[in-house]
Amino acid sequence: MELDDVLFYLGHASFCIKAKGYNLFIDPYMIPDSMKGRADLVLITHSHFDHCSKEDIAKVIKKGSMIIAAGCLDANEYLGLAVAEPGFRTDFHGIGIEAVPAYNVASEKQSFHPRAKMGVGYIIDVDGMRIYHAGDTDFIPEMKDLKDIYAALLPVGGKYTMDEDEAIMAVKAIKPKFFVPMHYKRLLGKEGAKKAEDKFMKELPNCHIMKEQLPAFSF
């Protein structure tokens, strides 16, 4: 099983994981209509509009969809909602879901993602392929404790999350088979994004730049 057969980058911090016949969406945002009703499980990392988009959640869910969110949705509005905080674990039809910390440590970013707000990242375990979506975060001490990560999806951009140098340090600490940068193109612009990608490709042999791509569905 190859990463590109399982993981699809939808843009910004949005991904779709296709596994065991199920479709998992992470932080759906600006999702096209072709994805309507495709989600079996939706994972939301934190409350910011470009991660917890009610419009996009409503678009992708269907009857029976499960939602796991870090305290940004009302259980009275959504059936099948579980609230995640660091340490949360569950099994979704044989797919392991674990919530891990995500927060800013830099003083100038404290108002964006303070630890007390309990934003999270997720580790999704598909038959031992552990995919880590970090949410919005800096390079935090807890990353050094992550083990056996197959793909680390890390936010870059510098204003709200890690800059390129911090992301490189995080990758070296986590030691994933693949590093997938995210969350940077809208912030850095075309030229800045290309510069960041070139730096990652030069310094990190495990860097895997993903193009935005919609998954194919058989129904």
Confidence of residue 147 (pLDDT cuts 50, 70, 90): very high
Distance CA 62, CA 206 (A): 36
Is there a domain that residue 163 lies in? yes
Is there a domain that residue 215 lies in? no
Pick from 132, 192, 122, 118: which is nearest to 157 by CA?
Answer: 192
pLDDT at 208 > cutoff 80: yes
pLDDT at 66 > cutoff 80: yes
Is there a domain that residue 218 lies in? no
pLDDT at 52 > cutoff 80: yes
- Residue 33 CB: number of other CB atoms within 10 A? 6
Average pLDDT of the segment spanning 127-133: 96
Q: Chain-wide mean pLDDT for the chain?
A: 92
Is there a domain that residue 155 lies in? yes
Over the stretch 2-27, which tens digit does the pLDDT of each residue have? 899 999 999 999 999 999 999 999 99
Domain that holds residue 133: 3-203
Distance CA 70, CA 45 (A): 6
Is there a domain that residue 211 lies in? no
Q: What local confidence, expressed as pLDDT, does residue 213 receive?
A: 87
Distance CA 1, CA 177 (A): 14
Is there a domain that residue 100 lies in? yes
Contact 13, 155 (CB under 8 A): yes
Q: What local confidence, expressed as pLDDT, does residue 218 receive?
A: 55
Token pair belonging to 206:
């495990």
Looking at residue 28, its amino acid is P
User: 185 or 116, which is more confident?
Assistant: 185
Contact 79, 54 (CB under 8 A): no
pLDDT at 112 > cutoff 60: yes
Output the domain CATH number for residue 93: 3.60.15.10
Average pLDDT of the segment spanning 154-161: 87
Distance CA 140, CA 178 (A): 19
Number of domains in the chain: 1
Contact 68, 95 (CB under 8 A): no
Which residues make Cβ contacts (< 8 Å) with residue 50, sequence separation at least 6? 12, 13, 27, 29
Distance CA 125, CA 106 (A): 30
Confidence of residue 107 (pLDDT cuts 50, 70, 90): confident
Using a pLDDT cut of 90, give the percent of the chain over it: 77
Is there a domain that residue 208 lies in? no
Q: What local confidence, expressed as pLDDT, does residue 199 receive?
A: 96
Is there a domain that residue 212 lies in? no
Q: Which residues pair with 153 in a beta bridge?
A: 133, 180
Contact 183, 161 (CB under 8 A): yes
